[in-house]
Structure 1
Amino acid sequence: MGQEDRPILVLDSGVGGLTVLREVRFKLPFERLVYVLDDAGFPYGGWEEGPLTDRLIALVGKQIDAHDPKAILIACNTAFTLAGEALRKAFPDRTFVGTVPAIKPAAERTRSGLVSVLATPGTVRRAYTRDLIANYAQHCHVRLVGSDRLAEMTEAHLRGETVSEAELKAETSACFLEESDGRRTDVVVLACTHYPFLTNRFREVAPWPVDWLDPAEAIARQLSRVVTNRSLGPSALPDIAVFTSGQAEPAARRLMAGFGLSVPG
């Protein structure tokens, strides 16, 4: 494989990483992309830490052997906050870019000092997340809100299934805090790459307007900084989506095609 055809690998448990892949295309328009959708392991939020780390190391190793990527983007907060360090140790010759909760920019942006982080339960539990708060948001009241269902609701939404307002309110209402002095939550960090697909729905059910902070553009910008061996023109090979289950339903194939990805086989 020529240098110009070595891809950037983007990995997530489901379709959430597409929100980041979309931004990567803007920043690095000539790079070939391989999107690895670990649908056989979805959702990551309910996994125990040890088995999920082992799964991610094995999966990334398999994809390195198959595609020899020039960079690996872990487009999943749950995966990277857990296994980012282990992946770098397992593959020290590879360039990794991760996805972590955008707590630092939220702390810089808030006026009220009340910030919520909407995430999977796995991301909420991570020491990594609490370290981000301690390092960058000591002057804020940061509320961690773990949703068991939103990632799966996002996938259902993208399949054209109905997701009700009541369901969305149940998963997001804890993000909104109002203090006795009149201060209200004004920034909600979307700490799962699935969630930006539902931002317009979140706005509809929110009790007041907030800044829904999507880190996808910042992640793509970081990737563009570390990819030094850039392609100078379009690759002769297509951008592809790899389903770890080996099965892609017609609706999933159509969704991938909408993001410019073909599904081999």
Structure 2
Amino acid sequence: MHDAGPVLVFDSGLGGVSVVRAISQQMPRIRLVYVADDAAFPYGDWEDDALRTHIVELMGRLIAQYRPTAVVIACNTASTLVLPALRARYDIPFVGTVPAIKPAAEQTKTGIIAVLATPGTMRRDYTRDLIRKFASLVHVRLVGAPLLAAFAEARMRGEAIDERSLAEQIEPCFVEIEGRRTDMVVLACTHYPFLTDLFDRHAPWPVCFIDPAPAIARRLASVLEGRRVDGGPGTAAFTSGRPVLAPVLQVLRQYRLAVA
């Protein structure tokens, strides 16, 4: 394990920037390296075994290149699939991203919550285990949304998105049972916080959308306690090697990330 280095934040695309934002707010002095595996986006199209092998092998190359103090897997799909394999293979702390089902179950006033996820996260046994463990006393609507991550990517690139399709994707979250309504929606994808203003616009009634990023940042701070971490501006890299568009550069600059 390396004595000092940056924190590596990894996602399939741009969604993990929401986690970078939360980390930067809580720990503004640490250096972050953000890696978007856009060559493989979206992860939901992959078979589990192939995706697990791909991420574990790619992570080995990234660790060798950046020598990070810790790694944040800023992706629910990847976290629910590959964290055990990564921790077994590499002697470095990994902080994962899991759906914020426990706080939603604790905070609901109506006893009805929804988990808005990618299809990959929705079908994981890990997600259902969290529901059984922490939300057995509330009604949970598990909603797989195949288009939202791509909508977030497009929006961050400055492209228009189909808001009617977005509204259709979130509609199953809103449940009414005997006069009680959904009041908590867990955003179980790090892309989704970049769409919350549109979610609010198209929601049939007000709900609390729970962003997992602040909890991830708090967990990282705990993991880093007593460890040396590099400081200074961060960098961003994209596995596809494609040119980075101006709107994306603008988003990255907000969080002190320069494209490598």
Per the normalisation by structure 2, the TM-score is: 0.95
Please give the alpha-carbon distance, in whole angstroms, between the structure 2 residues aligned to 1:253 and 1:183: 44
Q: Report deviation, 1:186.
A: 0.7
Partner residue in 2 for 1:258: 254
Q: Report deviation, 1:231.
A: 4.9
Please give the alpha-carbon distance, in whole angstroms, between the structure 1 residues aligned to 2:164 and 2:53: 37
1:214-243 deviations in Å (ceiling 9; x for gaps):
1110110010001024558843xx410011
Q: Is 1:174 aligned with 2:169?
A: no
Partner residue in 2 for 1:43: 42
Q: Is the 8 A contact 1:117 1:191 kept in 2?
A: yes
Q: 2:244 aligns with which of 243, 249, 252?
A: 249
Q: Report deviation, 1:105.
A: 0.4
Q: 1:198 aligns with which of 176, 195, 200?
A: 195
Q: Report deviation, 1:50.
A: 0.3
Aligned residues: 258
Q: Is the 8 A contact 2:101 2:130 kept in 1?
A: yes
Q: 2:235 aligns with which of 226, 230, 240?
A: 240
Q: Once superposed, what is the RMSD of the aligned Cα atoms?
A: 1.5
Please give the alpha-carbon distance, in whole angstroms, between the structure 2 residues aligned to 1:7 and 1:95: 12
Partner residue in 2 for 1:70: 69
**Ranges in structure 1 where 5+ consecutive residues have no aligned partner:** none
**Ranges in structure 2 where 5+ consecutive residues have no aligned partner:** none
Q: 2:211 aligns with which of 211, 214, 233?
A: 214
Q: Is the 8 A contact 2:31 2:230 kept in 1?
A: no
Q: Report deviation, 1:172.
A: 0.4
Q: 2:145 aligns with which of 144, 147, 150?
A: 147
Per the normalisation by structure 1, the TM-score is: 0.93
CA gap 1:232/1:147 in 2 versus in 1, 3 angstroms? closer
Q: Report deviation, 1:158.
A: 1.4
Q: Is the 8 A contact 1:30 1:231 kept in 2?
A: no
2:200 partner amino acid: R
More divergent stretch after superposition (29-38 vs 161-170): 161-170
Q: Is the 8 A contact 2:32 2:235 kept in 1?
A: yes
1:186-225 deviations in Å (ceiling 9; x for gaps):
1000000000001011000000000101111011001000
Q: Is the 8 A contact 1:31 1:231 kept in 2?
A: no
Secondary structure of the structure 2 residue equivalent to 1:101: coil
Secondary structure of the structure 1 residue equivalent to 2:133: helix
